Homo-oligomer: A and B are copies of this chain.
Amino acid sequence: MKTRITELFGIEHPIIQGGMHHVGYAELASAVSNAGGLGIITGLTQGSPENLAREIAKCREMTDKPFGVNLTFLPAFTAPPYPEYIRAIIEGGVRIVETAGRNPEAYLPAMKQAGIKVIHKCTSVRHSLKAERIGCDAVSVDGFECGGHPGEDDIPNMILLPRAAEELSVPFVASGGIGNAAQFVAALALGADGINMGTRFIATKEAPVHQNVKDALIAASELDTRLIMRPLRNTERVLANAAVDKVLEIEREAGSSVGIDDIKDLVSGVYPKILQGGEMDAGAWSCGMVAGLIHDVPTCKDLIDGLMSEAESLIRGRLASVL
């Protein structure tokens, strides 16, 4: 398949594995890239610029295809040493960066000068336009369905993608809620030049997470995610579990006076326990609504090959036949 995204990133299939905290290691990124998609190492998950440099080197040994690094920009008071992270990316020869979180404008010149293509994750049309204006090469348009941070507008991809298509000139991929070929084709129809998948890639053989997590994704229906931290205007979509029920109870009781300190223990620092220890109720962990459409744990190659061949059948078969 050839789209503006495959051209921009020099990849075979317009399928990106989005940056995910504590999941985006070389094992997963290289598997996705080897399958013809774009694998992404999560920068901050590595803990330091030195570790990121090592992870990039490791990924380079595992694939000769393009892969990227995710850099999430946090509020200033918790800012990691971004210039050093960017140096590690540049010196590691990485040519694709997925930015997320706050406005990446301050860091764009350094990256552009090094020939890096930047795709920024946005949950609204106005932020997408801002990303285009400051020079991002592409946008990852992230709908209400997504795991992690959907923003506060609650606009699903069936609306957000065609709205983005009306406004954007740069290419964009559909992010949030995507997991099967029907959705892939729908995203292309809605104007996207590819897809970004997060949760779906956690349920793959190569994802370095505990089997309990993969089993939980298969067991979950589309009704099994919850929105927490809404009163803090830092909404996160997570898998429903006992810890999340507790967060929601605290939020309800505290009302508008709830603070991050009230729920901190339940929403931070739990990923290692959940992902490596498999303690599924250890805290709140990001999960998209697409969990309801995940029914197996294939290799990344089988997942991507299946998406591509089924998308082709859908376009040439079902869609052509209704005309």
Contacts and interface: CB of A to CB of B under 8 A. Distances in A.
Given A188-B319, A189-B319, A322-B2, A156 B143 contact: yes
CB-CB nearest 3 A-B residue pairs: A156-B156, A186-B186, A185-B189
A187 B159 CA distance: 12
Given A1-B323, A318-B188, A156 B180 contact: no
Interface string A157-173: 11110110110000000
Interface stretch (A43-51, A92-100, A309-317): A309-317
Contact of A155 (B153, B222, B314): B222
Interface string A284-320: 0000011011000000000000000000101110111
Which among A153, A320, A323 has the greatest number of chain B C-beta atoms within 10 A? A323
A173 to B, nearest CB: 13
Main secondary structure of the interface of A (DSSP, over half): helix
A110 interface: no
A153 B145 CA distance: 12
A182 interface: yes
For this chain, the copies found in one complex come to: 2
Contact of A158 (B2, B145, B166, B314): B145
A196 B188 CA distance: 21
Interface in A171-207: 177-178, 180, 182-183, 185-191
A123 B143 CA distance: 19
B153 A156 contact: no
18 contacts: A1-B323, A144-B144, A153-B223, A155-B222, A156-B158, A158-B158, A158-B178, A159-B289, A159-B290, A162-B180, A166-B293, A185-B186, A186-B187, A188-B318, A188-B322, A189-B319, A315-B315, A316-B320
A3 interface: yes
A224 B103 CA distance: 25
Contacts of A189: 182-183, 185-186, 189, 314, 318-319
A268 B145 CA distance: 31
A183 B188 contact: no
